[in-house]
Structure 1
Amino acid sequence: MTINLKSAQSPWSGLEGVEQLTLHPINQSFNKEVVIPGSKSVTNRAFILAGFSEGTSKLSGYLKSDDTYWCMETLKNLGATFEFIGDDILVTGIDRNQLADKQQVFIGSAGTTARFLPGILGTQEQSEITITSTEQLAVRPHQTLHEALKQLGVQVKYVEEEGQLPVTIKGTSETGGKVSIAGNQSSQFISGLLMAAPLFNHPTEIELTTNIVQSAYVDITIEMMEQFGIQVNVSEDYKHMTVEQGQYQGATLPLEADLSTACYFMALAALNQSTIKINHLNLNSHQPDLEVVDILERMGATVEKGEDYVVISGPEQLQGNLTIDMNACSDQALTIGTLATFADGPITITGVEHIRHHECNRVSALTESLTQLGIQVEEHQDGWTITPGEIKAATLDTYDDHRVAMSLSLIGTKVDGLTLLDPSCVSKTCPTYFEMLQNLGISIDYK
């Protein structure tokens, strides 16, 4: 019941039919402005909460990507309606009394949907819903979340392999109560429990047995739940959370730009002795990748922060001889890892062991890619020490991982002839990424 990765491509994909591309540097400084598309993390949270709200929500600034498309399609198959009006979407919530007794939904490769949806489906007593996905997503870690849901009275049955998708979810009359779960594997597990909690049959109490990883993403979830009418009580150390029963109410929300995507353009400026102004950013955002601004400043970039923008100007030489803990902003560990190859000394990145379990083993993927380019990399369990050196162009695998593709592309803006295979994987979060690079003057050949 798992489906080939290419099936995750959607009408919102980019680079259809492109098997590889080769980048060519601009070879001169530039001063440009860019506007970043919406956040995948924020969009999928908003879609799901709107889909399980009473009434109609109005969402603006949403992201059109593969992951958000399949999240939307899943909710539509369950009975939500999505109406596009200009740049807005009107989302009318699911009538839970009309859910089919048995139903199957396909979520593509969307890890956020895989972690946010099971719990909230487990609040439906009369409906047994099977979640299917691509093979890539099926084998990613899910069991910690599913075991937590079982503690809360949800029925969870694996269709094929234990701990993997596809999985069948069904609620019972006795959902809710107290649950214990590790916090150091994925903040998405915690967000999935929180989003479901108000719809269980009893108040819910969540206890974390370890420190939490990437607590900022839990903050995003809590803030959005509040915007849809639900309050969460959380301790300062995030180890204790309580959620009363309630019903989500439709809301009108502008959704934030994606700071993760913004980081690639900040890094591009830092790497190419250029200046990029990124507009329409929320610099008070909980999105943790905002920390990259400070990391780039440590590496020698000049930073200017405005009310809703940031300007990054690159130095003549990126600074190395640094150790950087990127646990909180681990989605950008590959980005800083690629910049490290151009620094004036080694850079050690720590705190990112958990990214071994994302779309691919990202720690090993960067090691293999930089080694193929001639760079000395010492791989650690939780990161790398990367020593700058002369880079030779090569053809690199993207491992069907958008973060790998976007990070390695930065090297191609400095080293002529770098080729990336399967570049369309960027459609997971930013289908227009390579088009945006071209608009900044980077030459790209497509095949």
Structure 2
Amino acid sequence: MNLLLKLATCNQQSSIKITGSKSETNRLLLLQSLYPNLILENTSNSDDSEVMTKALLSNDSVIDIHHAGTAMRFLTAFFAIQENREVVLTGSSRMKERPIKILVDALRQLGAEINYEENEGFPPIKIKGKKVTQNKVSLPANVSSQYISALLLIAPKLENGLELTLQGEITSVPYIKMTLAMLNEIGVETSFENNKIIVKPQPQKPKPQTLSVESDWSSASYFYSIVALSEIGTQITLSSYKKDSLQGDSVLADIYKDFGVETTYENNKIQLRKGNNYQLSTINCQLNSSPDIAQTIAVTCFGLGLGCHLTGLHTLKIKETDRLLALKTELEKLGASVTISDESLTLEASSKINANIRIETYQDHRMAMAFAPLALNTNIIIEEAEVVSKSYPTFWEDLKCIGFNISEL
């Protein structure tokens, strides 16, 4: 499905309800499978979370998680400790190109039995679940925090808990802290000092409790971009959000001050408002802890005619696509001048935006959503727009609600 987004004006006042965070939901779904007396509210309606739910309930010997990278990492750890269970985890052609070796090596250090079905270091993998008694493991921490979170989530079910040593610079610390906070919430004892994380075993079921998932900050980023590109005075209210969020992408509230977007917290909601105080120069952001918002920020800068220098982006090369290369390619179609390295993107300031450009999405939901706000500047075509269902199935309907003119080609 290709969509034409015609030059639009955002409604001066709009309200949107965004479903629960995919990151929080997938962690809690795994914990709920380990401790069934947990009840979850406001869970994500994303494809990734649906895939995770189905996989955890499945009795099949082959489980296909399609494009869901989080599910691949978390389920690898989960099935490794399911005694007397044997499964093959597989996925899309792109998933078979996404590395899993660091996590598999760590699980093997603990005693897990995992083998590669096709290419060494990549899915599909065969997992023979067994009782794991080893409790000390180390792994490189500068590739993906999801490897670390996968180990932490199963740690309380290990007979002797887990002592995890992280080697090198730690990527996406907020996501690790999110995982630990969720373990703490269900009564698991943890510590995180310097490069060592300890999780105590929790053989007993935690007390029955209801856990509410905060709405997704990554999804909120596209509305920050829309407000930034809109007229002064434009307001969008989003729910359900809190100021003390566990999500690393909540840094949006600070970053977008430079674009003139003011964030007000009230009654479990955030109100975004375009003010007249904003920085008209090059935007510099270190996004090591929140790389998923890099595409949104780069497109916002381009739409405002600003330059930007974004760093800490080394994990973007192993996402749904090589996001750095994809961003460079699509922005340059629109008239931008972009340079990239293995971990950075630099955009030159420019007031020129080419019209009626077709944006390729590369099977990446964030490419589709990050470029959509440019419809406030010019007509734009989003190819394979249905890819947004991976994290935000109602995205296009929500854009129509706030005034976007969208039609199918």
Q: TM-score under structure 2 normalisation?
A: 0.93
Residue 425 of structure 1 and its aligned partner are, at CA, apart by 0.7
* Contact 2:81/2:132 (<8 A) preserved: no
* Contact 1:271/1:318 (<8 A) preserved: no
**Counterpart position of 1:66:** 47
Residue 28 of structure 1 and its aligned partner are, at CA, apart by 6.0
The aligned runs of 1:270-281 (5 Å cut-off) are: 270-273=228-231, 274-281=234-241
Q: Distance in 2 between matches of 1:398 and 1:204?
A: 39
1:230 aligns with 2:188: yes
1:333 aligns with 2:289: no
Q: Aligned letter for 1:431?
A: P
Q: Distance in 2 between matches of 1:272 and 1:366?
A: 22
**Counterpart position of 1:147:** 105
3-state secondary structure, aligned to 1:135? coil
**Counterpart position of 1:415:** 378
Query: Are residues 111 and 251 of structure 1, via their aligned partners in 2, closer, same or farther at CA, if it must alter by over 3 Å?
Result: farther
Q: Distance in 2 between matches of 1:411 and 1:31?
A: 19
**Counterpart position of 1:24:** 6
* Contact 1:50/1:251 (<8 A) preserved: no
Mind listing any 5+ residue stretches in structure 1 that lack a counterpart? 1-18, 79-101
1:370 aligns with 2:331: yes
Provide Cα deviations, 1:139-178, integer angstroms capped at 9, x if missing partner. Answer: 1121111111111100110111111111111244453321
Which moved further from structure 2: 187-196 or 296-305?
Answer: 296-305
3-state secondary structure, aligned to 2:150? helix
* Contact 2:11/2:402 (<8 A) preserved: no
**Counterpart position of 1:282:** 242
1:51 aligns with 2:7: no
Residue 344 of structure 1 and its aligned partner are, at CA, apart by 4.8
* Contact 2:10/2:403 (<8 A) preserved: no
**Counterpart position of 2:56:** 75
Residue 226 of structure 1 and its aligned partner are, at CA, apart by 2.4
Residue 137 of structure 1 and its aligned partner are, at CA, apart by 1.6
Provide Cα deviations, 1:47-91, integer angstroms capped at 9, x if missing partner. Answer: 1111121x433211011121111111111114xxxxxxxxxxxxx
Q: Distance in 2 between matches of 1:245 and 1:184?
A: 26
Residue 186 of structure 1 and its aligned partner are, at CA, apart by 0.7
3-state secondary structure, aligned to 2:215? coil
Provide Cα deviations, 1:338-359, integer angstroms capped at 9, x if missing partner. Answer: 0111335421111112111100
Q: Aligned letter for 1:71?
A: M
Residue 202 of structure 1 and its aligned partner are, at CA, apart by 3.0
The aligned runs of 1:38-437 (5 Å cut-off) are: 38-53=20-35, 55-78=36-59, 103-235=61-193, 237=194, 239-247=195-203, 248-249=205-206, 251-273=209-231, 274-306=234-266, 308-315=268-275, 319-387=280-348, 388-393=350-355, 394-416=357-379, 418-437=380-399
Identity, % of aligned positions = 29
Q: Aligned letter for 1:311?
A: Q
Q: Distance in 1 between matches of 2:303 and 2:252?
A: 17
Residue 29 of structure 1 and its aligned partner are, at CA, apart by 5.6
Residue 331 of structure 1 and its aligned partner are, at CA, apart by 0.4
3-state secondary structure, aligned to 2:228? helix
Residue 22 of structure 1 and its aligned partner are, at CA, apart by 0.7
Which moved further from structure 2: 215-224 or 194-203?
Answer: 194-203
Residue 315 of structure 1 and its aligned partner are, at CA, apart by 4.7
Provide Cα deviations, 1:218-273, integer angstroms capped at 9, x if missing partner. Answer: 111112222333222221x3x10112222354531111111110111121111112
- What's the RMSD between the two structures over aligned residues? 1.8
Q: Aligned letter for 1:32?
A: S
Q: Aligned letter for 2:215?
A: A
1:37 aligns with 2:27: no
Q: Distance in 1 between matches of 2:50 and 2:367?
A: 21
Q: Distance in 2 between matches of 1:433 and 1:173?
A: 42
Query: Are residues 375 and 178 of structure 1, via their aligned partners in 2, closer, same or farther at CA, if it must alter by over 3 Å?
Result: same
Mind listing any 5+ residue stretches in structure 2 that lack a counterpart? none
